[in-house]
Amino acid sequence: MESTPSHSQDADLIRPTRDVLEHALVKDRAAMARAAEQDLQAFWAREAANFVWFNGWDKVLDDSNPPFYKWFTGATTNIVYNCLDRHLSTWRRNKLALIWEGEKGEQRSFSYHALSREVCMFANVLRSMGVRKGDRVTIYMGRVPELPIAMLACAKIGAIHSVIYGGFSVEAIHGRIEDSQSNIVITCDGGYMNGKVVELKQIVDEALKRCATVEHVIVIKRTGMDVPMEEGRDYWYHDLMTLPVAKTASGQSRCETEEVDAEHPLFLLYTSGTTGKPKAILHTHGGYMVGVATTLKYVFDIQDDDRFWCTADPGWVTGHSYVVYGPLLLGATVFIYEGGPTYPFPNRWWSLIEKYGINILYTAPTAIRGLMRFGEAWPNRHDLSSLRLLGTVGEPINPEAWRWYHRVIGKGACPIMDTWWQTETGMFMITPMPETPLKPGSGTLPFPGVQADVVDEHGNSVKPGEEGYLILKTPWPAMMRTIYNDNERYVEQYWKKVPGAYFTGDSARRDADGYYWIIGRVDDVIKVSGYRLGTAEIESALVSHPAVAEAAAIGLPHEVKGNAIHAYVMLKAGQEPSDELIAELREHVSHEMGPIAKPEKITIVPGLPKTRSGKIMRRVLKARAQGLPEGDLTTLEE
């Protein structure tokens, strides 16, 4: 792999201000990391002691059958007991848990008491509809409070939620419902995004024509638009919540939280990999709870008077871990905004920070780059002085965007937590803490207890400054447990490439100070605006169009999105290329997969570069498109 200069330049280090250091929970990260390295299990056991366990654990970590690691074995708990129930007997009962603003400016807020009440009632409804411990429930919604409420209601009764991002569409939903064998779908009539209505229920209806398992659909009224309701299958959420079943026999809005094993599945979250079939990453109650809360506490330094805003959609892992579960576990106040950042004007986010006095903002590089384009005047119109810490996630952040975020939004006083992690890791893995000296564009160091490395194809560590594969060498509590129903694929994809280590699929460099610089994916995953998409899924959406014989998708650099999808298609015999057909194909991908997967550009080609065994050589397409050397072509078919 190519060698690049090391980024170690001490002059570049951005050190925290005295205020930040005084506030910081962790003053000496190196000491914390040493303690965790010396005794990993004691480190995590200390953090686990902050939670309620109905039964204590026999072992902190069971590593007798790697890579099927188990955490807190023998213990019982429920993440929802720790997110909600336990706060109700403290002063936090009346603290705001959730503040929400809709795209049209409506406001709703929930204290811990109010959130728990709503969750209890919906959990009772789900139970009355026959949902039992271990059942899978699909959730497909816009960003409304009922999304976290539905997730928590499922987890409370031991059901396994599978949230599908509201930007996905028909085929993506069908594939995920079928794989998870859910028989209940919770959705909204529609959702608001960037001033438009997303027709969520209609998309669900279309997807359900392709799946047989679903018995009931619960619909939240968000837009009030007209939607067909199928009798016996579809129910309005607001009707169900007024039924006697939503309450206990004595008329109270209570619901017993199910005691579950620490290793009981909490959720499935589908993510893209190297094949066309999305894989369901499985996370559990106990370890995920400890990992997510601990990382959030130390990295974002959350304290009781903070208002935390993570702009991610709860439909992605960032939303699961750091909009829903992490903040509630810490008894924090979380803010959720329904819509797009530039609606109706590019100051919407900045006005929300001022209006709600947000202290911590956690977002994605693509959003920063997008907002940067509108200039400084928009944020400068607002008082952003409540901000104390900033964060970023999802893709590498270019130093230019980092510096703008730091200077214009953070006024030079808010450190930026550039957190590297994945759906699979569940929690931050390489990340600064407020005390860590920063280098723009680097995620800095592994979280205490995490041992990472950058290696070559034989698994040997590469020299500082050299590019290699990023691997993780120690288990961590919030790690995925498996791919749902596919242990073999789990072992094959993550644990085979470098024996004994977790293979992240990312390439990285480590500099002379031990700081990590993530470069990007080494597999067929494309990060578009931080969203993770598989080339194979896009290709399979393209070939499902009757005019297409074969297709190849690649990611090419894009100024705002990071990467944009470019597709090459071969038409079936008798099909004529035309601009109309290209427009139709782009729409087709959007309809099947979702607008986020719509290719930037489609080129109709007479043939695709393939190996002699018939595999499309995407790297050749990529090099050609960028005018770069095409590399080794010995395996290329004539």
Residues that bind ligand PRX (CB under 6 A): 271, 317-318, 393-396, 418-423, 443, 504-506, 518, 521, 527, 532
> Residue 572 in contact with residue 547, Cβ under 8 Å?
yes
- 232 by Cβ neighbours in 10 Å (0-12 / 13-18 / 19+) ranks as exposed
Whole-number minimum distance, CB 406 to ligand PRX, in Å? 15
Least Å from the CB of residue 423 to ligand PRX = 3
Beta bridge partners of 193: 196
Q: At closest approach, how far in Å is the CB of 395 from ligand PRX?
A: 5
Q: Cβ distance 147 to 173 under 8 Å?
A: no
Contact between residue 565 and residue 555 where contact means Cβ atoms under 8 Å apart: yes
> Smallest distance from the beta carbon of 405 to ligand PRX, in angstroms?
13
Shortest approach of ligand PRX to residue 556 CB, angstroms?
A: 16
User: How buried is 471 (Cβ within 10 angstroms: 0-12 exposed, 13-18 middle, 19+ buried)?
Assistant: buried
Other beta carbons within 10 Å of 631: 11
Least Å distance, CB 457 to ligand PRX, is 18
Nearer to ligand PRX, 184 or 470 (CB): 470
The token duo for 29 is 């990260």
CB of 609 to ligand PRX, least distance (A): 25
Q: Which is nearer to ligand PRX, 200 or 393 (CB)?
A: 393
Q: Nearer Cβ to ligand PRX, position 190 or 530?
A: 530
> Which CB atom, from 192 or from 316, has the smaller least distance to ligand PRX?
316
**Nearer to ligand PRX by C-beta: 218 or 501?**
501
The residue (of 241 and 429) whose beta carbon lies closer to ligand PRX is 429
Residue pair 265/134 in contact by the 8 Å Cβ criterion:
yes
The answer for residues whose C-beta is within 8 angstroms of residue 76's C-beta and 6 or more apart is 53, 54, 55, 259, 260, 261, 262
Q: What share of the chain is helix, strand, coil (3-state, %, to 5)?
A: 30, 25, 45
Q: Which is nearer to ligand PRX, 237 or 503 (CB)?
A: 503
Task: Please state whether the peptide bond connecting residue 67 to the residue before it is cis, i.e. omega within 30 degrees of 0.
Answer: yes
For the CB of residue 316, give the shortest distance to ligand PRX in the complex, in Å.
6
Short-list 523, 254, 292, CA closest to 429: 292
Q: Please, what is the minimum distance in Å from the beta carbon of residue 538 to ligand PRX? A: 16
CB closer to ligand PRX, 227 vs 429: 429
Q: How far apart are CA 334 and CA 325, in angstroms?
A: 10
Cα–Cα distance for residue pair 297/25, rounded to 1 Å: 8
- Of 507 and 603, nearer to ligand PRX (C-beta) is 507
Taking the complex as a whole, the smallest distance from the CB of residue 434 to ligand PRX amounts, in Å, to 16
- The CB-of-47 to ligand PRX minimum distance in angstroms stands at 20
In this complex, which beta carbon is closest to ligand PRX, that of residue 443 or of residue 468? 443
- CB distance 504 to 472 below 8 Å: yes
- Give the pair of three-digit tokens for residue 199: 């027709």
Q: Find all residues with CB under 8 Å of 444, minimum gap 6, and list them.
A: 418, 430, 431, 432, 436, 438, 515, 516
Q: Which is nearer to ligand PRX, 57 or 516 (CB)?
A: 516
CB 220 within 8 A of CB 141: yes
Q: How far is the CB of 445 from ligand PRX (least distance, A)?
A: 13
d(CA 186, CA 197): 18
Q: Between residues 532 and 545, which has the closer beta carbon with respect to ligand PRX?
A: 532
What's the rounded Cα separation, in Å, for the pair 346 and 362? 18
Cα–Cα distance for residue pair 310/64, rounded to 1 Å: 37
DSSP string, 507-535: EEEE-TTS-EEEEEESSSEEEETTEEEEH
